[in-house]
Amino acid sequence: MSDLETNIGKLAGYLARFKESGILNQIGGEAQPAASGATFETRSPVDESLICQVAKGNAVDIDAAAKAAKAAFPAWRDMAATERKKILHKIADGIVARAEEIALCECWDTGQALRFMSKAALRGAENFRFFADKAPGARDGQALPSPTLMNITTRVPIGPVGVITPWNTPFMLSTWKIAPALAAGCTVVHKPAEFSPLTARILMEIAEEAGLPKGVWNLVNGFGEDAGKALTEHPDIKAIAFVGESRTGSMIMKQGADTLKRVHFELGGKNPVIVFDDADLDRALDAAIFMIYSLNGERCTSSSRLLVQDTVADDFEAKLIERVNNIRVGHPLDPKTEIGPLIHKTHFDKVTSYFDIARQNGAKVVAGGTRVGDAGWFVRPTLFTGADNAMRIAQEEIFGPVLTSIRFSSEEEALQIANDIPYGLTGYVWTNDLTRALRFTHQLEAGMIWVNSENVRHLPTPFGGVKASGIGRDGGDWSFDFYMEQKHIGLATGQHAIPRLGAN
């Protein structure tokens, strides 16, 4: 039996219970259908087959979940942080124990290739461990003595929070947002993406099996304009941590205005990888390919704009075409597959529409630009050359395995092109000139920049974007800044003079 057949067999075992009872919401520790009884279908992008029915929550379910999160908040906030730490480590243990189930379900639900998803569960566990260890220090503050007062600061959790996640790597992103919220002492209502609900349900079950008190983490499935919107408008929800498209972020900001929501946005990107002619070009090639064609190109940090110096561009692009044409598109559960199907027909239609847009723009489609097979949402990895930065293929987030190559002649021109974009999530700079690297990264408009490297995530570092790519930072202590409020307490150290109004 091939590895693929073995994985398909195992997946069938994991899916059986979902097929039988569907995916339920979890409110106040109880698994339940939507209050209205409505459901929606989740289908696999591999062959469009039905995976299962999913509870279609709306404002009524969100209200119940928000109330459950509010009721659970005081006890969770006041639990000794060392206890919270133990529970979060147990959640990480549970994730590791079910890593295979998580990986196989994630691949089938999203189309992501197993070679990447097999590590996603472990990365999710690492997110829990990292924030578990930070929980006991979350309230630490400063002593800021003044002449008459001992001023101290501390932090307190903001309250129940809403977490809204996208479909591209749903498991990892859910852990990434929820682990710090719980470590800070917040309770959570999670609204996962409607295209990929499976692993959010598994994660929630792991958490409660690990001893997380009922109501601390609630799960409501449903559509963005319905359940998602209600979550952002609910008065008991104090903050919204959102990962998704820039225009959805803008909608959420409006929706949350009446209840003065604090928001944290991780949004879209159109990130440049800038290759200077003095760089290690072989390594630059490997990294550029990895950062756009891994995870089906459905990756906010993907290097979707290649800026290559004209002195080396012919050779670099020729090597790129050869490698891109060699990338293996296939079944996501086949360990050899490098690119699986895109998430959904609507996204497939969007991505493939850029093949014509590229030609209309006057660029060349030198690799890919075609569908693969006639079932499922598979596309060949695609490369556009002869592009300039004003074209739609250079300005818009395509969010698929599609790279636009643009040539530049000088460092000034490279910088001008790199920054001439509404987004500012990541940048990748390839040069062996140290002073240029310093100069360039100083002026590049991006929240995260790697020099001579692909994106290598280190949890203590700040993650987030500028411009239309986001507001706020995750990682390290920055996550706690979002999920917690600063509190100042001033204690008189003596009997300083207090102004005596009305005392003659």
Among 99, 212, 252, 379, binds ligand NAD (CB under 6 A): 252
Task: Give the position of tokens 């958490």.
Answer: 207
**Cβ atoms of residues 274 and 250 within 8 Å:** no
- Name the nearest CA neighbour of 223 among 66, 70, 102, 59: 59
Taking CB under 6 A as the rule, does residue 237 contact ligand NAD? no
- Catalytic residue, from 126, 233, 266, 396: name it: 266
**Cβ atoms of residues 240 and 266 within 8 Å:** no
What is d(CA 39, CA 137) in angstroms, rounded to the nearest whole number? 42
Among 25, 44, 58, 168, binds ligand NAD (CB under 6 A): 168
What is the nearest approach in angstroms of ligand NAD to the Cβ of residue 240?
8
Taking CB under 6 A as the rule, does residue 203 contact ligand NAD? no
Taking CB under 6 A as the rule, does residue 163 contact ligand NAD? no
Handedness of CA 403, 243, 61, 219 (dihedral sign): positive
Is residue 412 part of the annotated active site? The answer reads no
- Name the nearest CA neighbour of 119 among 335, 360, 299, 325: 335
Taking CB under 6 A as the rule, does residue 167 contact ligand NAD? yes
Q: Which is closer to ligand NAD, CB of 210 or CB of 252?
A: 252
Q: Which is closer to ligand NAD, CB of 164 or CB of 414?
A: 164
For 379, phi then psi, to 5°, come to: -130, 155
Taking CB under 6 A as the rule, does residue 447 contact ligand NAD? no
Task: Tell me which residues in 128-157 interact with ligand NAD (CB under 6 A).
Answer: none
| Choices 112-120, 126-134, 147-155, 237-245; region in contact with ligand NAD by CB under 6 A | 237-245
**Cβ atoms of residues 339 and 293 within 8 Å:** yes
Query: x-or-dash pattern for ligand NAD, window 389-408, by CB under 6 A?
Result: --------x-x---------
Per-residue three-class SS string for 74-134: HHHHHCCHHHHHHHHHHHHHHHHHCHHHHHHHHHHHHCCCHHHHHHHHHHHHHHHHHHHHH
Task: Tell me which residues in 280-309 interact with ligand NAD (CB under 6 A).
Answer: 300
Taking CB under 6 A as the rule, does residue 376 contact ligand NAD? no
Among 194, 236, 317, 338, binds ligand NAD (CB under 6 A): 194
Beta strands in 312-469 (DSSP E): 364-367, 382-387, 402-408, 423-424, 426-430, 448-451, 466-467
Among 193, 281, 288, 406, binds ligand NAD (CB under 6 A): 193
Query: x-or-dash pattern for ligand NAD, window 173-192, by CB under 6 A?
Result: x-----------------x-
**Cβ atoms of residues 358 and 383 within 8 Å:** no
Which residues are the active-site residues?
266
Q: Site residues (CB under 6 A) for ligand NAD?
A: 164-168, 173, 191, 193-194, 223-225, 228-229, 232, 243-245, 248, 251-252, 255, 266-269, 300, 397, 399, 425, 465, 470
